[in-house]
Amino acid sequence: MDNSKRTVVVTGFGPFGEHTINASWIAVQELKKLGLGSEVDLHVSEVPVEYQTVQSLVPSLWKKHHPQLVVHVGVSGMATTVTLEKCGRNHGYKGLDNSSFCPDSQCCIVGGPDCINSVIDMESVCKRVTSSGLGVAVSVSKDAGRYLCDFTYYTSLHLSHGRSAFVHVPPLGKPYSGEDLGRALQAIIQEMLELIDQAEEKIHCQQQHFH
């Protein structure tokens, strides 16, 4: 294994409800074609819209790949921009999934904090991508919606101590194509990796400063 390469895992969701073709998985497949540059080992995975599958699949992705970053992508019927989610929430899961199931506790992790923020500064990512002239509108949100998107995000944030991100995309053609969304994901994730690097350099410098 080439240790100089960084591993990034990106997931999209399978079909559910009226989303018979899920824009998030199409966007992730487009991203896979584009790649994240020669330095990054990109793995993609399709996530079924089922709470119990998420609870086993998300930890298995972390265990298998030991990624530097995991980015989950989901579709929002209400979104008109590509939306960066700042945090995941633990409570309020009442919506039934594709197996007509929802957790009895209506929460992700019993006893977990109510809300977990990503270590990534989403405002900064948003500004950088917007100023790059990508042609895709990007915004930031603090509410991922209390369904499988939010559930997956919280589960991943809890496991990774915040080294996860969540991106909501609008349905295909409203207004962006799968290719547009793939390009947007590529730009967003490259900025996220850049920010993680900067944060780690800062920590490293501070540690050296203390020794």
**Both tokens of residue 149?**
């998107």
| Catalytic annotation, pick one of 50, 85, 108, 191 | 85
23 phi, psi to nearest 5 deg: -55, -30
Rounded alpha-carbon distances, angstroms, from residue 72 to 4, 57, 150, 154: 24, 12, 10, 11
126 is catalytic: no
46 is catalytic: no
| Catalytic annotation, pick one of 50, 87, 149, 191 | 149
Rounded alpha-carbon distances, angstroms, from residue 61 to 28, 43, 44, 147: 16, 9, 10, 20
Helices (H) and strands (E) in the chain, counts: 5, 8
* Residues facing 73 on adjacent strands: 167
Name residue, tokens 């079909």. Answer: 15
Render the burial of 72-110: b for 16+ CB within 10 Å, e for the rest: bbbbbeebebbbbbbbbbbeebebebbeeeebeeebbee
Active-site amino acid positions: 85, 149
